């Protein structure tokens, strides 16, 4: 699973984080609505999968 969104409000976090499967995250990354950091998050997820490491 890839982190794709972290909702914020005026006072800080505004709700739970949103996650997507890797193919869906890649598709979302092409959207103008995706956060700038999503490419880095996808790369980290792919690296973890390649080494067999579980998410932190």
Give the structural domain span for 42: 17-56
**Longest CA pairwise span in the chain (Å):** 39
pLDDT value at position 44? 93
11 falls within a domain: no
Single out the residue of 41, 50, 51 nearest to residue 1, CA to CA: 41
pLDDT tens sequence across 38-56:
999 999 999 998 988 766 5
Question: How far, in Å, CA of 33 to CA of 1, rounded?
Answer: 19
Give the chain's domain count. 1
Is the residue at 37 inside a domain? Answer: yes
* 48 occurs within a structural domain: yes
> Half-sphere exposure (CA, 13 Å, Cβ side) for 25?
22
pTM: 0.75
């Amino acid at each position: 699973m890839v982190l794709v969104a972290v909702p914020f409000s005026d006072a800080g976090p505004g709700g739970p984080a949103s996650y997507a499967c890797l193919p869906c995250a890649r598709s979302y990354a092409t959207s103008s609505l995706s956060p700038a950091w999503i490419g880095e998050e996808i790369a980290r997820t792919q690296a973890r999968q390649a080494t067999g490491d579980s998410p932190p």
